[in-house]
Structure 1
Amino acid sequence: MRDDVAWTVDRGRYEDTVTPWEQESWRTAALAWVADALAAHGLRAAGPLRVRLRPWSVLARVPVAGRPAVWFKANPPASGFEGALTAALARWVPRHVLAPLAVDADRGWSLLPDGGALFRDLLERRAVGPETWEELLRQYADMQRALVPHTRDIARLGVPDARPDRMPRIFDELIARNTALRPADRSRLDRLRPRLLDWCAELAGLGVPDSLDHADLHDGQLFHPEPGRYTFFDWGDATVSHPFCSLHVTARRAAERYGPAVMARLRDAYLEPWTDDGRTTGELRRAVDLAWRLSALGRARAWGGLFPAAPGATAPGTAGASLSGHSARSLLELLDEPPF
């Protein structure tokens, strides 16, 4: 694939975003890597690229002759583990994830096949009841349970460590570097810290083993390739953490569609696969309450995983300031009571 291939660019709301795509040498290397990766599978690109540039990723849809398009993704250093993690997940839990066509772990590049219909697209095409969300959460929980023996291997890939005993330090670091917190909100969070220490200790003491937390599992982050089956993708925000931290984003998104009463139903569906370990329903629900609050730390941390600023830049730009604001709002969710 030559550097003179045609492409269109979507920057969304981040018009001032600077990514490696603007660097000709980087772009040339990336396009050559994609061409070589396709050739290794007997494939070739056919047609213009659609490139989506965001502060946290470069994503390009690459049309391929004779088959569905493939997707090139480049991560910034903070989430550069995603390609290697995706490849490892394809070995450990192949039914639940996409198998990449190629990964360059050193450069944070990956090439992925088309995953079929997004769950979001299914929701737009026809009426879907809460039972569908229950099933996807059961399958996601099954995947997390299968990954428990691989937790140390996941951490060795560079996936951030956000286990309960690490959460107080993460909290302190996020508070210290956030530039968008108002003084009154910073004081509220400072006063919350003793309670946060208690929550972390209690959550760890309940004994649910750590696993992989997607940290942003919504209807646009999973495919529904066939009836009764879901595959999960986009692991750039993932952490090694308490598995129940994953429930927050999914349940909130479902509640936007069906109303808040659905949350308890989804919680219990998610917990079904975890009942085999001898813990009571009360213990598991208590763990969900604690993880619901503490999951805010994972979301707040994820907003900092951006491409480095351009050389000579003296300020983070409007995109960086906006994302700092998102991180601040996530931190303030620690103050919210669980909705169950």
Structure 2
Amino acid sequence: MHRAYAIAVDRSTYQYAPTPWEQESWQDAALAWVADRLAERGLRMGGDLAVRLRPWSVLVRVPVEGRNAVWFKANPPAGAFEGPLTAALARWVPGQVLEPLAVDAERAWVLLPDGGELFRSVLSRAPVEPRAWEDLLHQYASLQQAVTPHAHEIERLGVPSTRTLDLPSAFDRLLTHNTALLPETRARLERLRPRLTDWCAELASAGIEDTLDHADLHDGQLFRPAPGRYTFFDWGDAAVSHPFCSLRIPVEKARARYGPQVLPRLLDAYLEAWTAPGRTAADLRRAAHLAWRLSALGRAASWGRTFPDPSRTASGDEHSAESLLDLLNEPPF
């Protein structure tokens, strides 16, 4: 395939992690697909490509003549649900997520519009008050509630199901298949199993339905098109689980930026959306405490969603083991 544009590739610290980008035929097919999808809209590719390669995705910024760039993303087979999920969310919660320009579910490809400025860029440019994080947590909780009736549809799209009462079984699978855990660490985690089962039962008894958990909701996974408004994207780590499992990552990011004193107000901003008759603030705090700890299981499982690597049988196991160890740590509230 003749190319009239340059390609800059960013591999970060993953210099030898395999992705399908290494196959020229795959590159050609992917870029031809992008060109065809743009042509259907009367658009043309218009400049050099910026490619970001990670073990869990191929991401390409594609300049377009006369308008903003678009983004091509390829997921590994275990994350093939991201394109269909993003398209479904655009129907269910329009304006709160990016609406795909095109999705190829079979090949795990999606073409996305430019979402504007990342929240991370906003934070790096000028001081931002903690209220901005409160706004995003409240908006995200509303999104979770809006899609709760679609939980079974989300699972049918291929999004992993790690429902609250099924988390002990997920824990067992993660321990069984992880090759990076040291024997003494594995033994500590195995001793935790009865308590973990109790935590799950208690969390389920709070009466909050399982729904979509982004599972990696940090400041680089959000656009801020306007103050107080956010657009959520990058659903490749998502699962159907307890909604409060989403809370840990954004709160940890904000706590690192502003200090521990910000924790109570962020919890209140998120949990306010879940108030209901017979459900006290103390009940919600307790549920958040349990979900904070159990969210480690979702993070551990997500490390299995990488491109296949025939040279390594334990791809992601070390990162997964680190996440499992978080089960041993007390939440900060």
TM-score category by the smaller chain?
over 0.9
Identical columns (%)? 65
Aligned-partner SS, 2:139: helix
Match in the other structure for 1:240: 240
Deviation at 1:185, TM superposition (A): 1.1
Correspondence list, 1:257-276, <5 A: 257-276=257-276
Match in the other structure for 1:81: 81
Deviation at 1:23, TM superposition (A): 1.1
Within 1, Cα distance between the matches of 2:277 and 2:43? 46
Match in the other structure for 1:332: 325
Q: Which moved more, 1:179-188 or 1:212-221?
A: 179-188
Instruction: Say yes or no: does 1:109 pair with 2:119.
Output: no
Correspondence list, 1:138-149, <5 A: 138-149=138-149
Instruction: Say yes or no: does 1:200 pair with 2:193.
Output: no
Matched-pair contact (CA < 8 Å) for 1:3–1:28: no
**Residue identity opposite 1:46 in structure 2:** G
Deviation at 1:219, TM superposition (A): 0.4
Match in the other structure for 1:301: 301
Match in the other structure for 1:67: 67
Runs of 4+ that moved beyond 3 A = 1-5
TM-score, normalisation: structure 1? 0.95
Match in the other structure for 1:129: 129
**Residue identity opposite 1:326 in structure 2:** H
Within 1, Cα distance between the matches of 2:320 and 2:4? 38
Cα-to-partner distance string for 1:41-68 (whole Å, 9 max, x where unaligned): 2111011111111110000000011111
Within 1, Cα distance between the matches of 2:144 and 2:162? 15
Match in the other structure for 2:211: 211
Deviation at 1:6, TM superposition (A): 2.4
Within 1, Cα distance between the matches of 2:283 and 2:210? 16
Q: Which moved more, 1:130-139 or 1:1-10?
A: 1-10
Deviation at 1:4, TM superposition (A): 6.3
Aligned residues: 333
Match in the other structure for 2:188: 188
Q: What is the aligned-residue RMSD (CA, Å)?
A: 1.3
Match in the other structure for 1:179: 179
Gaps of 5+ in 2: none
Match in the other structure for 2:20: 20
**Residue identity opposite 1:211 in structure 2:** T
TM-score, normalisation: structure 2? 0.97
Cα-to-partner distance string for 1:152-185 (whole Å, 9 max, x where unaligned): 1101000000111111111011111112212221
Aligned-partner SS, 1:304: coil
Aligned-partner SS, 1:73: strand
Matched-pair contact (CA < 8 Å) for 1:2–1:28: no
Within 1, Cα distance between the matches of 2:148 and 2:306? 29
Deviation at 1:277, TM superposition (A): 5.5
Aligned-partner SS, 1:134: helix
